[in-house]
Structure 1
Amino acid sequence: MQKQDFYQSLTKQAQALISGESNVIANMANLSALLFTSLEDINWAGFYFVDSPQELVLGPFQGNPACIRIPMGRGVCGSAAYSKKTQLVEDVHAFDGHIACDAASNSEIVIPVFKNGEVFAVLDIDSPSLSRFDESDKNGLEKLVKSFELTLS
């Protein structure tokens, strides 16, 4: 299956899970579980909420225990939230200011989640492999996040 087809199917599954449910925590929990069980070669999938202008706080996730608070603009998650842009990192150890919550993670993708035009949260996915994520993953995951954002208004 092509990655584009895979992500199209994954987004449909995500929409079916969250359709009609207004509780954001429940939806994030189900999306984390869906991603964790559907994506190959990952070791963490979950969300961080914007808790204040200064930091993110851990939300629903699947994987090993994680950092609870991340300063805005620091690490891959804080950089994605601060810049309001997806961060696709082939080697987290080469990323300036990387915060190592799990030493087994080697690559990472973080997508900002918007609500009313502001970053509300970030979706964070880690892999133990270097260069696990590419532009196809970025595009597919951004579309999935956009469908989730529709439930937030």
Structure 2
Amino acid sequence: MNLLKDTIKEIILSEKSKSEKLQSICDFLEAQISYYDWVGFYFRNGNKEELKLAEYTGEPTEHTIIPFGKGICGQVAVSNENFVVQDVSEQDNYISCGWKVKSEIVIPIFVGGENIGQIDIDSHTANPFTNQDEELLEFVCSKVATLF
């Protein structure tokens, strides 16, 4: 876990652009954690009550804009709380990104106390996420927040 966090710190402190850093984080997490099959960032779309897809790794998604309150990501934009879904089939308010997706974890990113976006992880494995995943992704989000 500490090695993962150290690499995230290195990416954040690198000379890359913000976009390149976010893409590197997506690529790194997807490559290092076997059950992270799609890793992406969504950010608030200006002053609109919606999220806009930014950098991601994994299969393309048509969900590039997500209204607040819709799906797991949209719910996190409203609740400002982590949302771990071990089995997406049990969620009524779920937006499917693909038939392979079995579970999802979404962690908000706060800057100055404001929810500006989130990291979204989809897994093709049911029930894979642990407290360690939440802790790692909260760390990632705290570091990403320093870019804004």
Report if TM-score (shorter chain) is over 0.5: yes
SS at match of 1:138: helix
Q: Structure 1: where are the runs of 5+ without partners? A: 1-5
Which of 138, 141, 144 in structure 1 is aligned with 2:140?
144
Runs of 4+ in 1 over 6 A off after TM superposition: none
Which of 22, 39, 50 in structure 2 is aligned with 1:45?
39
Which of 80, 89, 97 in structure 2 is aligned with 1:101?
97
Paired with 1:53 and 1:60, the residues of 2 have a C-alpha distance of: 19
Residue correspondence of structure 1 range 55-134 to structure 2 within 5 A: 55-66=50-61, 67-134=63-130
Q: 1:88, 1:134 within 8 Å by CA — same for their partners in 2?
A: no
How many pairs were matched up?
A: 146
Paired with 2:34 and 2:114, the residues of 1 have a C-alpha distance of: 31
Partner of 2:10: 16
Pick which of 47-56 and 80-89 moved more.
47-56
Q: 2:50, 2:74 within 8 Å by CA — same for their partners in 1?
A: yes
Partner of 1:26: 20
Shift of 1:37: 0.8
> Which amino acid is the alignment partner of residue 37 of structure 1?
A
Paired with 2:65 and 2:44, the residues of 1 have a C-alpha distance of: 10
Paired with 2:78 and 2:15, the residues of 1 have a C-alpha distance of: 28
Instruction: State TM-score, norm by structure 2.
Output: 0.91
- Identity across matched positions, percent: 31
Shift of 1:76: 0.7
CA RMSD of aligned residues (A): 1.5
Q: 1:107, 1:128 within 8 Å by CA — same for their partners in 2?
A: yes
Q: 1:53 to 1:22 in 2, by over 3 A?
A: farther
Paired with 1:95 and 1:14, the residues of 2 have a C-alpha distance of: 31
Q: 2:29, 2:36 within 8 Å by CA — same for their partners in 1?
A: no
Pick which of 126-135 and 47-56 moved more.
47-56
SS at match of 1:113: strand
Partner of 1:3: none
Q: 1:15, 1:148 within 8 Å by CA — same for their partners in 2?
A: no
Q: Structure 2: where are the runs of 5+ without partners? A: none
Which of 18, 22, 30 in structure 2 is aligned with 1:36?
30
Paired with 1:107 and 1:21, the residues of 2 have a C-alpha distance of: 34
